[in-house]
Amino acid sequence: MKIRHQQVAGYFYPAEKDKLEKDISLMLQVAKPEKLFNNIFGIIVPHAGYVYSGKTASYAYNLLKGKNYKTVIIISPSHSEYFPGISIYNGDAYETPLGLVEIDQEAADKIVENSKIIFRGIEGHRKEHALEVQIPFLQSVLKDFKIVPIVMGDQGKMFIDELAEKLSKVVDDKTLIVASSDMSHFNSAEEADRLDSIVEKRISDFDFEQLYRDIENHKCEACGAGPIISMMKAASMRNIKHALVLNRSDSGDETGDKSEVVGYLSAVVYE
């Protein structure tokens, strides 16, 4: 088997299985969403170290408990390398301290089929944390699922549009999409709140086209804007146009330092 081994265990989240299970369990216990949803198309979750953004992510992951998904498509930005295109891991499984999660080869092949810009490869997967940190949460709330790990090397409109088109054709009621993104970076908490509230409004209004324009015009920030917009556009193509922001926070909530923070948000897209 070709396995993508864990890269950020012990850094972004605990490397010991027991400690990781305990930490995720505690976060899920304290981050209970106010309502539940029957037909979830996708979730938006942050990807910082669990101590900073794990609680915010847990609001979304709690919604998946008891659900039966066969395939989870995880879309991540690329932090450590640029490449022109969208890369789906070309191996057999991803590894975390909680075990291996197999790649859904059939779904991956369907997304890549006849595309010049979406391909199977290792690009973007070597060290990427934004994708890896989602998997232990999924392993904690779901059973018997496979993943399609996608890293966007370029988040330009052409890439977003093609990925959205492909996703809209492969998803069914046994498929979930996870869009991985943090919000604004290294502003004061007050400025972060101003910027991140714009993203929150665009998601809540289901206005992914305006979100794209706002990101392009530097009116707000989201390192995973491409994953978010691709997922929302795919939902729209399936006539799903409801979204709810579940929680928003910043790193200063944990560190106590509000002078320079990173913003986090979790949301759900549903029928």
DSSP secondary structure of 166-206: HHHHH--TTEEEEEE----EEE-HHHHHHHHHHHHHHHHTT
CA–CA distance, 142 with 44 (Å, rounded to integer): 17
pTM of the model: 0.98
pLDDT digits 0-9 by tens, 170-194: 999 999 999 999 999 999 999 999 9
Report the distance separating Cα 233 and Cα 30, nearest Å.
31
CB–CB of 31/166 below 8 Å? no
Bridge partners of 148? 73
Closest CA to 62 of 54, 70, 51: 54
pLDDT of amino acid 87:
98
In CATH, 3-270 is 3.20.20.100: no
Given a contact cutoff of 8 angstroms between Cβ atoms, the answer to whether 61 and 137 are in contact is yes
CA 48 and chain centroid, separation: 11
Instruction: Transcribe 198-265 into DSSP letters.
Output: HHHHHHHTT-HHHHHHHHHTTSS--TTHHHHHHHHHHHHHTT--EEEEEEEEETHHHHS--SSEEEEE
What is the mean predicted confidence (pLDDT) over 101-105?
98
∠ Cα 8 86 181 (to 5°): 50
Pairing of strands 99-102, 71-77: unpaired
pLDDT value at residue 193: 98
Of all residues in the chain, the percent with pLDDT exceeding 70 is: 100
Q: What letters, b where the CB count within 10 A reaches 16 and e where it falls short, cover 13-46?
A: bbeeeeebbebbeebbeebebeeebeebbbbbbb
For residue range 131-156, what is the model confidence (pLDDT) as tens digits?
Answer: 999 999 999 999 999 999 999 999 99
**Percent with pLDDT over 90 in the chain:** 99
Confidence of residue 19 (pLDDT cuts 50, 70, 90): very high
Contact 55/249 with Cβ under 8 angstroms?
A: yes
Predicted pLDDT at 253 = 97
Q: What average pLDDT does range 36-56 have in this prediction?
A: 97
191-221 confidence digits (pLDDT tens): 999 999 999 999 999 999 999 999 999 999 9
pLDDT at res. 245: 98
pLDDT digits (tens, 9 = 90+) for 247-269: 999 999 999 999 999 999 999 99
